[in-house]
Structure 1
Amino acid sequence: MKEILDAILSSDTTAADFAALPLPESYRAVTLHRDEEEMFDGLDSREKDPRKSLHVDEVAVPELGPGEALVAVMASAVNYNTVWSSLFEPVSTFAFLRRYGQLSPLAARHDLPYHVVGSDLAGVVLRTGPGVNAWKPGDEVVAHCLSVELESADGHNDTMLDPEQRIWGFETNFGGLAEVALVKSNQLMPKPAHLSWEEAASPGLVNSTAYRQLVSRNGAGMKQGDNVLIWGASGGLGSYATQYALAGGATPVCVVSSDQKAAICRAMGAEAIIDRSAEDFRFWKDEHHQDPREWKRLGARIRELTGGEDVDIVFEHPGRETFGASVYVTRKGGTIVTCASTSGYMHQYDNRYLWMSLKRIVGSHFANYREAWEANRLVAKGRIHPTLSRVYRLEETGQATLDVHRNLHQGKVGVLCLAPQEGLGVRDTALREKHLPAINRFRNV
């Protein structure tokens, strides 16, 4: 691995040089162990500690198949799916690997006693398999996390509808929290030249997810002038939704839980902010009963901030805790678009406020290749910026994941894999200098 790292850090290494580098037999990776999938049985989610389940192991470099690439990973990031993986909930990810392994002899490589997790990366292509023409060794890349087979017609209009659609590093093996990753070549996109490795690695999953959910016609189809309620507006997903709303001429109504998070939203340019902790919004009376009076209070607060208007779109991802309120506060004919359920999957809402007001609930999951490419293009052009707040070493991934699990983070949490330090990999210094305050916005809070 040292020879590979030296080649990446050198300014004169050619594509031929990278192609000639010998591949290592093994590499360091953040793993889960199949024989530990019951280690947290009986514990509440809040009591489960990712530092106990996530390991840094030396694992074998996987066989390279047709249409695939091996990438030297300089940096990666922690997403909420890494939290789910580390807690073995709602199911163990080894169930995904077993199912995938039954698909074909090539897919069987993924069904192992260990799972290399992680759904983001920035790095350098080392090898490409047969049939790969768009990428070559030495290319600096980021990867989106959509893994598809595309052997069914269902996926050819929208690749997210492929029956064999999976999230790389969550429902497949050989993910990005490692020194080497195995990806399908159609996951690769150009690394934004003005960003460091850790900055470039951080937008991937959440940026693409927010783009589809809010901007794409497959999601809410946001337009100029829309009012958009954004839950967790300073978090991994919400920070990108806030940027897209502002960049697209909409008005974000940012819901946060502290003064510090409110300050981040203001720094991004948002003006309509609700601190749900300071204003003591409690949408549930107890475990089984919601409080419609709180829905009405939230709706009134929104109208105070928007000049009397209800929201056209609700950017939903907390799930159970907020969904009843989200359905209520959306304007007649508006859209609630949901991509996750971090507070619980069993949503409850009063359907009278949906059907009688002609509202829509739209499910949104990650992004197709085109949407991911467009989202990455906006980052590369300096229109959308990373929301990286803190960076850990590979050995500290358990702590990084615990921070996300307990919501102790802002924006995104990065992880250095092969990169020996932060700040490396910047190629376009002029564009970086132009946008440096925005790039560092989450670092400065």
Structure 2
Amino acid sequence: MTVQEIVSAVSSGEAGSRDVASLPLPEDYRAVVVREEDAGMFDGVEGRDRDPTKSLHLQQVPTPELGPGEALVAVMASSINYNTVWSSIFEPLPTFGFLKRYARTSPLAARHDLPYHVLGSDLSGVVLRTGPGVNAWQPGDEVVAHCLSVELESPDGHNDTMLDPEQRIWGFETNFGGLAEIALVKSNQLMPKPDHLTWEEAACLGLVNSTAYRQLVSANGAGMKQGDTVLIWGASGGLGSYATQLALNGGARPVCVVSSPEKADICRRMGAELIIDRSREDYRFWSDEHTQNPREFKRFGKHIRELTGGEDPDIVFEHPGRETFGASVYVTRKGGTIVTCASTSGYQHTYDNRYLWMSLKRIVGSHFANYREAWEANRLAARGRIHPTLSRVYPLQDAPQAALDVRNNVHQGKLGVLALAPGEGLGVRDEAKRSRHLEAINRFRS
């Protein structure tokens, strides 16, 4: 049995659940991995000089054993997230420690402790097999996957699964991720694939759309309401492009911060009107490596108020981290919220606490999303209210280059990766719905 037989069955559009279930599983498949033997290859190299194309490899890996509550999925497409970049440059530390700690939790989890780590926290594809105890999904179902892996054996996670002490990000803190021809997921990671999208479009929604939804909309994040002014860093990027759409869709007013005129144009095409081009304004929030520049904070805040008619942001959508965090705390309105989900420019944040405590501001940490939040975010996409921000697609063998492009921030929106899909443009089941949203779907492809 080869993966090409799976591709033929899926591409025919005629294979039912029994047909897919009867397909023999291949013994191995191609996957994008980092290798444990390479974990020290960048020792002494500055983070900005670490090159994912040197550490990411495409290789054959054995098909993992299927356990209770799990599913094996034929991956038609995936996408690049920043956690793949972190994994590839072994920063802030190699991910093999995550796999070893997970392996100690149960005999089933021990499968994840391998000398290679299959990366990737997104997929669109077709269910091949389900393990014991899976009732909601069956072979042949077309799905996308969110990246929250939880055990839920502790009471802590039963109000919000993100608080489960055994919460992990699939494809980053677990093995068998989505940058591969086959992936292993828990069944409660699966969601219906939006039927008007291609495989590659659907694959670029899961992680970032869900993350932005929790961070911005959910009561677990900023709890955005109609009329709020929302400052969005990197508003045309993989995460910010969904935050921009959610703000517009939810009756808020986004102030989009971008790094080039081209990215500003994309925000305008999404419907945003208030845009700050950092490349033109040349904001320098740090005077040197150790000293922030409050004068630049003030200049930035003045610019925001000029755009908004005198209002400061109710919410700041933070993810760059060290470079911008001091400015974010400063410009937020009195009683407002800074909500942060990442630190792509550095984990050590510095800010003047007087701007926080004396103005009654809040800093909220937000990490991915629980199943309900991910489901709601996916439902918005399925209804055509939120659209994919796919700008470019790479074949699986070029995933290392895609990761480098994300590392260097030369991309816009999301970068997709074809796995088993033989080409772009496949997987659409509702052409009529697609035709109604085609311009929005292709915003980032121009």
State the TM-score, normalizing by the size of structure 1: 0.99
Alignment map for 1:249-260 (pairs within 5 Å): 249-260=251-262
Separation of aligned partners in 2, 1:264 and 1:404? 17
Is 1:15 matched up with 2:14? no
Tell me what 1:37 maps to.
39
The residue identity in structure 2 corresponding to 1:28 is: R
Aligned residue pair count: 444
Alignment of 1:209-224 (within 5 A): 209-224=211-226
Name which of 95, 98, 123 aligns with 2:97: 95
The CA deviation at 1:114 is 0.4
- How far apart, CA to CA, are the structure 1 residues paired with 2:426 and 2:53? 28
Over 3 Å off, 4+ runs = none
Q: 1:277 and 1:287 mapped to 2: Cα distance?
A: 20
Q: For 1:362-373, what aligned pairs fall within 5 Å after superposition?
A: 362-373=364-375
Pairing 1:145-164 to 2, within 5 Å after superposition = 145-164=147-166
Q: Does structure 1 residue 118 correspond to structure 2 residue 120?
A: yes
Residue by residue, what CA displacement relative to the aligned partner does 1:72-103 show, whole Å, maximum 9, x if unpaired?
Answer: 00000000000000000101000100110111
Q: How far apart, CA to CA, are the structure 1 residues paired with 2:14 and 2:60?
A: 30
Structure 1 residue 280: Cα displacement: 1.0
Deviation digits for residues 281-300 of structure 1 (CA, Å, limit 9, x no counterpart): 10000000001011111111
Q: Corresponding residue for 2:288?
A: 286
Which residue number corresponds to residue 441 of structure 2?
439
1:14 is displaced (CA, Å) by 1.0
1:311 to 302, 310, 313: 313
Deviation at 1:276, TM superposition (A): 1.1
In structure 2, how many angstroms separate the alpha carbons of the residues matched to 1:389 and 1:11?
A: 27
Correspondence for 1:400: 402
CA distance in 2, matches of 1:13, 1:330: 54
Q: Which amino acid aligns with 2:313?
A: V
Which position in structure 1 is the counterpart of 2:28?
26
Three-state SS of the structure 2 residue aligned to 1:27 is strand
The residue type paired with residue 283 of structure 2 is F
Structure 2 unaligned residues grouped into runs of 5+ = none
Q: Of 247, 265, 268, which residue of structure 2 is paired with 1:266?
A: 268
- Percentage identity across aligned positions? 79
- Corresponding letter in the other structure for 2:278: R
In structure 1, the gaps of 5 or more residues are none
1:176-195 to 2 correspondences below 5 Å:
176-195=178-197
- Per-residue CA deviations over 1:370-416 (Å, capped at 9, x if unaligned) read 00000000000000000000000000000000000000100000000
Q: Does 1:68 align with 2:36?
A: no
**Equivalents in 1 of 2:383, 2:252: separation in Å?**
20
* Equivalent-residue separation in structure 2 for 1:266 and 1:137 (angstroms): 42
CA distance in 2, matches of 1:31, 1:343: 24
Counterpart of 1:202 in structure 2 is 204
> Cα deviation per residue 1:252-293 (whole Å; 9 max; x = unaligned)?
000011000000000000000001110111000000000101
Residue in 2 that maps onto 1:134: 136
Measure how far apart 1:2 and its partner are: 1.2
Question: Per the alignment, in what secondary structure is the counterpart of residue 83 of structure 2?
Answer: helix
Per-residue CA shift, 1:45-65, capped at 9, x if unaligned?
111111111001100000000
Counterparts of 2:9 and 2:288, CA distance in 1? 58
1:230 counterpart residue number: 232
Residue 144 (structure 1) aligns with: 146
3-state SS in 2 of match to 1:285: strand
Match of 1:418 in 2: 420
Aligned twin of 2:278: 276
**How far is the alpha carbon of 1:177 from its aligned partner?**
0.2
Query: Root-mean-square deviation (CA), in Å?
Result: 0.4
